Structure 1
Amino acid sequence: EAFELVLRHGRNSTLLVLKAEFPGLGGGAQGAVGQLFLDVSLYILGSDSSVEHMVQAFFTRLFPLTYRHLLGGGAALISEECLRGSWKDSIAFGPYPKLIMTRLSRSLLATRVFLQALNLGIEVVNTTDHLRPGRDCGRALLRLWYCPHCQGLLGAPACKGFCQAVMSGCLGGAAEVQPHWRGYVEGLGKLAGAMRGEQDMEAVMMRLHVLVRLALRHAVKARPRLHTLVSNRQAYARTHTQSWHLTATSTSTRVLFSDPASQRCATRVLFSDPASQRCATRVLFSDPASQR
């Protein structure tokens, strides 16, 4: 719950900054930011996603909004697919996406491992909670209750080793877990102590809005260059598509009518009416060379 609270505050602070400094982005930015923080939440819980993928997906959603609403490209007939693929090639957001990837990777990995270790400890504790003492253990615990040393009466003769002996007998095989449990607790403490600076998820997520804002400012400053790159990309895609259609049409014609039998079949199907045949002949073969 503590980590979820950190993510909620980080998301809200990012949305507030975008709304205050880039109001033109509208509600689309809220969806992009919300999805990013949802991906982060799923990642620290153990999902198969990667930090690189979630950051790239965030800027892929953000660039069309940036281009149309902040860079003045709203009236341009640019396809959504073209815009989604343009930000990375054009380095529209500068070095900030890579910087965000680096910081998130370090902090989220530490958080993910920490949560996995906590869940493992919870499973061990839940397992030992279900252990029930036997009859001999019950009698030993009854004697232990009247041990002055265990009641805090330190002036009385101490029952040396009695408490430990009783608990070892009651827990049985569970007592063998103690060295491993001690090592687990020590390792967990070291991991928690190392979650500072770049590995502190709270510090990174609460300052994520700073890097997002710098990325958007970089895109706004590069407006002329981005307009040119996106327009060229769209023109190339349109030309390539038209060329492909022409090639495909020509190929289909050669395949369908490459033998005389196919030609006669097509003639019977398309021009079964004599009037249609005469009309097609005049249109298609008005040139003597074409008739031959």
Structure 2
Amino acid sequence: EFFRELLENAERSLNDMFVRTYGMLYMQNSEVFQDLFTELKRYYTGGNVNLEEMLNDFWARLLERMFQLINPQYHFTEDYLECVSKYTDQLKPFGDVPRKLKVQVTRAFIAARTFVQGLTVGREVANRLLHFSKKNRCIRALMKMLYCPYCRGLPTVKPCNNYCLNVMKGCLANQADLDTEWNLFIGKKSLNISGRKYKANDNIERTEIPRLDFMKIKAAGEHGIKLSLLQPKKGNVIFYFWKDKI
């Protein structure tokens, strides 16, 4: 629940910030970001999601939307917009943000999902051990250990430590084989909790969703990117991207 809450807080914070900053411009295109967080949640809960492909698709969709917003005087076909998105890697209209975000998100979510899945397995194993079936021989040994003092009129006498251990070892002989592996499991989980297993950059709590400033990108002020359209004589609209010299 902790990781899920972090995700929901990140989504809510980003949504509130973009609504305040861009109003209807963002609200009309907010499903791009909603789908991003939906897929992240689906991956976290064990869904079959390829993080790298999902993030690539997010940036491609975002570029298509922004391209239309920046050039409202034109009407673009689906084929044309798909062509635009194909050049995302070469032209880098968002600068280095997609690469950095991909590294941060991938590390954080792989660590988080692995950790949570490990806890789930541990809980299931613990529950099964708590409900193990007791053999008749074990039941007789337990009855003898617990109730023989009562039959002899000595209700205050407790079984000695060694006797108790021998009886319990006999009852839990099969489960005892799990002792080594269980201790290793607990040890690894403790390392994960203390933060020694993963680097600080892998912490999902520190993974930030960068602020994508529509207007700054439009004005070529954040990444030095300009988007332009030319209308050739044949009537086919083509597009150009270039970086300003710094």
TM-score, normalising length: structure 1? 0.65
Deviation at 1:3, TM superposition (A): 2.4
d(CA) in 2 for partners of 1:147 and 1:233?
99
In the alignment, the residues of structure 2 paired with residue 106 and residue 14 of structure 1 have an alpha-carbon distance, to the nearest angstrom, of 21
Give how far 1:77 is off: 2.9
- Structure 2 counterpart of 1:100, one-letter code: L
Q: Is 1:21 the counterpart of 2:24 in the alignment?
A: no
Question: How big is the shift at 1:24?
Answer: 4.7
The structural deviation recorded for 1:173 is: 0.8
Supply the distance in 2 between the matched residues of 1:237 and 1:182 (Cα, whole angstroms): 71
Q: Which of the two has greater strand per residue?
A: 2
Q: Distance in 2 between matches of 1:235 and 1:172?
A: 86
Unaligned runs of 5+ in 2: 150-156, 239-246
Secondary structure of the 2:94 match is: coil
Partner in structure 1 of residue 218 of structure 2 = 220
Instruction: Choose between structure 1 and 2: higher helix proportion.
Output: 1
Q: How big is each residue's C-alpha offset from its partner over 1:47-91, in whole Å with a ceiling of 9 and x where there is no partner?
A: 34332212111122222332333x3x1122333334433544431
1:199 partner letter: D
Q: Give ranges in structure 1 of 5+ residues lacking alignment.
A: 149-155, 241-292
CA positional deviation for 1:157: 8.8
Aligned to 1:202: 205
SS in 2 for 1:63: helix
- Cα 1:186–1:83 change in 2 (3 A) is same
- Partner residue, 2:42: 42
Q: CA RMSD in A?
A: 3.3
Distance of aligned partners of 1:120 and 1:66 in 2 relative to their CA distance in 1, 3 Å threshold: same
Alpha-carbon deviation of 1:239?
A: 8.0
Is the 8 Å Cα contact of residues 7 and 37 (structure 1) preserved in structure 2?
A: yes
Cross-structure match for 2:10: 10
Deviates more, 1:179-188 or 1:113-122: 113-122
* Amino acid corresponding to residue 12 of structure 1 in structure 2: R
Name the residue aligned to 2:152. none
How far is 1:4 from its partner?
2.1
1:108–1:201 CA contact under 8 A, matched in 2: yes
Q: How many angstroms does 1:22 deviate by?
A: 2.4
Query: Residue in 2 aligned with 1:74?
Result: 72
- Write the mapping of 1:56-75 to structure 2, written as runs, cut at 5 A: 56-69=56-69, 71=70, 73-75=71-73
Q: Does structure 1 retain, via aligned residues, the 8 Å contact 2:55–2:102? A: yes
Superposition pairs of residues 124-273 of structure 1, within 5 angstroms: 124-145=125-146, 159-194=160-195, 197-204=200-207, 207-208=208-209, 211-213=210-212, 216=214, 219-222=217-220, 225-228=225-228, 231=229, 238=236
Relative contact order (C-alpha < 8 Å, sep 6+): which is higher? 1
**1:144–1:18 Cα change, 3 Å:** farther
Q: How many residues align?
A: 224
> Residues 200 and 145 from structure 1, CA distance in 2 versus in 1: closer, same or farther, beyond 3 angstroms?
farther
Q: Which has the larger radius of gyration?
A: 1
